Amino acid sequence: MAVLVLAVAAIRRLAGLRTVLVAGLLAVALGAATIGRNEVYRDEERLWTELIARQPANARAHASLGHFLVRTERWAEAAGRYEQVLRLRPDYADARSDYAGVLGRLGRLPEAIPHYEAAVRLKPDDAIICYNLGLALMQAGRLPEARVSLENAVRLPRGRGRADWHATLGNVLLDLNEVPAAAAEFARALEIQPEATEARHNLALALVRLGRPAEAIPHYEAVLRQLPGTAQVHHNLALAFAQAGRVAEAIAAEEVALRLNPGLTAAREQLARLRRR
């Protein structure tokens, strides 16, 4: 617009009123074009589609359209778009990671993992890609590999303050029966985010497995203050009470669990054992 004003001023000096009117009409036409372009910007999908039509080899434009399709949960279309990105730029680590995520959403986890692994090779210091690879490996049941990837993720700068990442690593370690290491990860998650209820519950589970029920009981009680209607937590608290020798409290906790969920067989069997004691 500034350039247009200067041009009109120059035209006025050189050519008089008639030419100024022509320039004014030109300004109106340019203004109409600007309004049309603003409409395009308001429609993100149209924006990227038009840009791709003009620049079909623009990998970033294809990736941006893929990201839009992911946000609108159009997974199959997003997969096709990311395939186009990777044909143009096989070394585009973020797009490869995003493509892997889309494959996972489509139930194609075995295909997703190699793409995550390739993305990690391209960007080994990207904590998010390492974490996503760890999640995919965990979902595939490849726990030792998941552990390595998740440990890498929480060591990187962007992963050190993530309570949920430490808790996920703790879950993998617990499944691998590396209980002391799992307890340490859950404790680290709670240092970062004291209200992380799931991490607190799983820390209590780990402490019971370590033979430290007295330390687990306050964690279970804290969880029940947040989730008082969860039968399984009342049952787990009862197990901790029983291991600590507090049989009457264990019976009371199991009775609450069964009131909340009469079909909880483990609680019913444990209650019968406690009553015999």
Judge contact between 216 and 208, C-beta under 8 A: yes
Q: Give 33: exposed, middle or buried? Use CB within 10 Å, 0-12, 13-18, 19+.
A: exposed
**Is CATH 1.25.40.10 what the domain over 211-277 is classified as, yes or no?**
yes
- The residue-averaged pLDDT of 103-123 equals 97
Confidence of residue 72 (pLDDT cuts 50, 70, 90): very high
Confidence of residue 139 (pLDDT cuts 50, 70, 90): very high
pLDDT at 157 over 80: yes
Judge contact between 109 and 140, C-beta under 8 A: yes
What integer pLDDT is reported at residue 5 of this predicted model?
52
What integer pLDDT is reported at residue 10 of this predicted model?
52
Phi-psi region of 193 (alpha: psi -120 to 50; beta: other; left: phi over 0): beta
Instruction: Give per-residue pLDDT as tens, 199-236.
Output: 999 999 999 999 999 999 999 999 999 999 999 999 99
For residue 53, the tally of other CB atoms under 10 A from its CB is 9
Residue 244 DSSP class: T
Higher pLDDT: 147 or 14? It is 147
- The residue-averaged pLDDT of 180-202 equals 97
Given CA atoms 61, 63, 64, 66 in this order, what sign does their dihedral have?
positive
Q: What is the pTM of this model?
A: 0.80
What integer pLDDT is reported at residue 160 of this predicted model?
84
